[in-house]
Structure 1
Amino acid sequence: MAAPRFQAPTNDFFSELKNRINDHFEQKGITPSGNSKLFTKAIILIVSLIGLYVHLVFFTPPAWLAVLECVLLGGVGASIGFNIMHDGAHGSFSDRKWLNNLAGLSLNLLGGNVFMWNTKHNVIHHTYTNVDGVDDDLDARPFLRLCESQKKYKLHRFQHFYFWAIYAFLYIYWIGFSDFQKYFTGKIGDFKIAKIKRSEHISFWAFKLAFVVIFALVPIYMVGFVSWLVGFLVFTMSTGLIMSVVFQLAHTVSETHFPLPEPKTNKIEEAWAIHQLQTTANFATNNKIVSWFSGGLNFQIEHHLFPKISHVHYPEISKIIKKACQDYGVEYIEFPKLRTAIYSHIMHLRSLALAN
């Protein structure tokens, strides 16, 4: 599928919005990148990850505590991805490029690959959000049907019950299969990946090997194969479930759109900024715990419109964006509570399970 194009803006909504956002930072005398709050959070998360890992591997806690710590390890790993890697990969963690690159590499240490992520997420997903056949985040075939344009299989009749299990295996599928598929095919869906430099080849294999050593070989040597396998599954399934839920609540809910390009022109009906607002939703933005843990990804509208701005600024700029949407009559999709967003996601899956 050729990359679709967007319509030209019919008004000055996004230009005006960008001006208002720029004025906000100028008036406050601050930069759009991360600040001391983000750096402190990063240190807390990294120290927590190391502490949990060391205690699990080298101090052999009782089984009940080990399982709990593996769940926490999965949660901390997901939060490092949300807060450190995500901002770093978007260039918003810091105003220093080397620090953004370092933050992005945290994904590699956790078994992923930031080079593949940048193409899949920053380029494809952020441009063609919720466009079936282009946005790779919508492709959960054959296990899940995430929009009406996707083919329905018999097992989808029950997807609103079993989707939790699919989400739990996302992380291990990603680092153990999906990255390698992209690496060897040179494609993400129908999109060709940019030519991989020698340094990226070395980085890919070196970090994959490092992950195996740190999260498999060393623990197996210290605690034995069975104990490691149980702990590893608890860790990776916790990470996968948390990551999946956070990202799915932002896009695959009943209220968001799943537009397809017009067949003859290959154009999306709306301009890019309006498209982002129609395909993206916020949730639980007044919940400080959710905001802290998820790296502001509950402010997904702000992130999709301004991915170069660090998530620590989202609560403030969300007020500006809401006001601009009101002024221009643009819908701003938001769920006040986490549970209402989860309910909408389940209802979305259920409607697709029942529809033809």
Structure 2
Amino acid sequence: MQLKFVNTTRSSFFATLRQRVDAHFKEQGLSPHANGPMWIKAGLFLGGYLLLYGLILSNQFGPWTMLALAAGLGALAAFIGFNVSHDALHGAFSSHSWVNKLLGDTFYLLGANPYVWKITHNMVHHTYTNIPGHDEDIEIAPGLIRVDTDEPLRPWQRYQHWYAFALYSLASLSWVFRKDYLKFFKRQIGQHDNSVHPRKQYFMLFISKAAYYFFFLLLPYLVLDLAWWQILTGFLAIHLVEGLILGLVFQLAHVVEGTAFPVPIEGVGIQEAWAVHQLRTTANFAPRSAVAAFFCGGLNRQIEHHLFPKVCHIHYPALTEIVKQTAHDFNLPYLENPSFASALHSHYRLLKKLGRPSEVSAS
């Protein structure tokens, strides 16, 4: 289905919002890109990652300490993804494209491919957010986790609110060994024609994956006094921690109570403006938490990110009040959960509801 957003109400919400946000940056004399604190934060996460990797390869610690370092490395990989790679791949980190390209390539440290991410996330997810059949980011584990009410309900999904969290921890392993290859060679992603790629990207996909397997599997096996199964255990620790953090943060932004999963009508599309659609399908969590803002890279303020993806997340706290007030002025929803725990509970309740036949019609 060819999908279009039709602003049937002729809402001027986004035009008004952009004027207010532009005025904020102009009045404050600020660039929408990274500032000093943002560069410091990026340096801390990247430096911490390299430090832990070096400590592991130093072979100076016992197996349990090495396992703890591996888990910490997985957490730092996720935080690099949120705070450095994500902004850079959206072109938000710097006004210089080469800087964004360089920092966007830190995505390789997660074992993931930045080129594939820009297609599936930047182009498809950000345009067709939460639309079944178009936004593949909400296809968490097809056949296992149900978030689309039009999807057939399977008996085991009655328990999805329990086993979903274990599946989230596998997200990073899927990226490393399966997802990037699958998406790269898939001919169609949503409405995007994915059948043709630059020749360079074929090379980069396979070379970068081979390099990751070398540095995180083969090299540790060659230099560490550990058995092969201990190397694999450490590798799993990295990715189970990384995957759980990535999976939870992304789900709490779009798959919670109150967010919509609109089904487009053939030949009609979505009968509202794109920006209004973003408000209905996206939610913030812990918006007043400095800890969440520091570690989640602004993804706890997902509404602001979806409306202004080319603005560095370091500026989202200031934009929050502008967006919220403008949404209020136009009588539009502004969804937020006050804490990480409340968002997690909301996500749990929604999964439980969508896994039970008696609740399907109410979802």
Task: Please state which band the TM-score falls in when normalised by the shorter chain.
Answer: over 0.9
Measure the CA separation in 1 of the matches of 2:188 and 2:57.
37
Q: Among 308, 311, 317, which residue is 2:310 paired with?
A: 308
TM-score with structure 2 setting the length: 0.94
Q: Among 307, 320, 323, which residue is 2:322 paired with?
A: 320
Offset of 1:185 from its aligned partner?
3.1
1:165 matched to 2:166? The reply is yes
Offset of 1:189 from its aligned partner?
5.3
Deviations 1:156-186 (A, max 9, x none): 1110011111001011112210111122334
Partner of 1:87: 87
Matches within 5 A, 1:274-289: 274-289=276-291
Task: Determine if contact 1:3/1:134 at 8 Å carries over to the other structure.
Answer: no
Task: Determine if contact 1:250/1:282 at 8 Å carries over to the other structure.
Answer: yes
1:249 matched to 2:252? The reply is yes
Matches within 5 A, 1:88-103: 88-103=88-103
Q: Among 320, 336, 339, which residue is 1:337 paired with?
A: 339
Task: Determine if contact 2:157/2:355 at 8 Å carries over to the other structure.
Answer: yes
Measure the CA separation in 2 of the matches of 1:341 and 1:171.
22
Offset of 1:58 from its aligned partner?
2.1
Matches within 5 A, 1:217-236: 217-223=218-224, 224-236=227-239
Q: 1:191 to 1:60 in 2, by over 3 A?
A: farther
Partner of 2:4: 5
Paired residues in the alignment total 354
Measure the CA separation in 1 of the matches of 2:157 and 2:253.
21
Measure the CA separation in 2 of the matches of 1:244 and 1:134.
19
- AA of the residue aligned to 1:198: R
Measure the CA separation in 1 of the matches of 2:245 and 2:340.
13
- AA of the residue aligned to 1:111: G
Offset of 1:31 from its aligned partner?
1.0
Measure the CA separation in 2 of the matches of 1:114 and 1:3.
26
Deviations 1:220-246 (A, max 9, x none): 112331111110101101000000000
Matches within 5 A, 1:180-199: 180-188=181-189, 191-193=192-194, 195-199=196-200
- AA of the residue aligned to 2:209: K
Deviations 1:48-87 (A, max 9, x none): 1111111112224223322222221111000000011100
Measure the CA separation in 1 of the matches of 2:2 and 2:308.
21
Task: Determine if contact 1:170/1:244 at 8 Å carries over to the other structure.
Answer: yes
Task: Determine if contact 2:145/2:164 at 8 Å carries over to the other structure.
Answer: yes
Unaligned runs of 5+ in 1: none
Partner of 1:46: 46
Measure the CA separation in 2 of the matches of 1:189 and 1:7.
18
* 1:109 alignment partner, SS class: helix
Measure the CA separation in 1 of the matches of 2:186 and 2:256.
31
Task: Determine if contact 1:71/1:234 at 8 Å carries over to the other structure.
Answer: yes
Unaligned runs of 5+ in 2: none
Deviations 1:187-215 (A, max 9, x none): 43564226211222221122111101111
Deviations 1:310-347 (A, max 9, x none): 10000001110111011111110011111000000000
Measure the CA separation in 2 of the matches of 1:37 and 1:92.
15
Task: Determine if contact 2:161/2:352 at 8 Å carries over to the other structure.
Answer: yes
Partner of 2:148: 147
1:238 matched to 2:237? The reply is no
TM-score with structure 1 setting the length: 0.96
Measure the CA separation in 2 of the matches of 1:4 and 1:85.
29
* 1:243 alignment partner, SS class: helix
Task: Determine if contact 1:35/1:94 at 8 Å carries over to the other structure.
Answer: no
- AA of the residue aligned to 1:147: D
Task: Determine if contact 1:134/1:190 at 8 Å carries over to the other structure.
Answer: yes
Q: Among 270, 273, 291, which residue is 2:293 paired with?
A: 291
Which is further off, 182-191 or 147-156? 182-191
Q: Alignment RMSD, CA only?
A: 1.4
Task: Determine if contact 2:78/2:110 at 8 Å carries over to the other structure.
Answer: no
Q: Percent of pairs identical after alignment?
A: 36
Task: Determine if contact 1:302/1:317 at 8 Å carries over to the other structure.
Answer: yes
Offset of 1:219 from its aligned partner?
0.9
Partner of 1:350: 352
Task: Determine if contact 1:7/1:268 at 8 Å carries over to the other structure.
Answer: yes
* 1:255 alignment partner, SS class: coil
* 1:146 alignment partner, SS class: coil
Matches within 5 A, 1:101-140: 101-139=101-139, 140=141
Partner of 1:203: 204
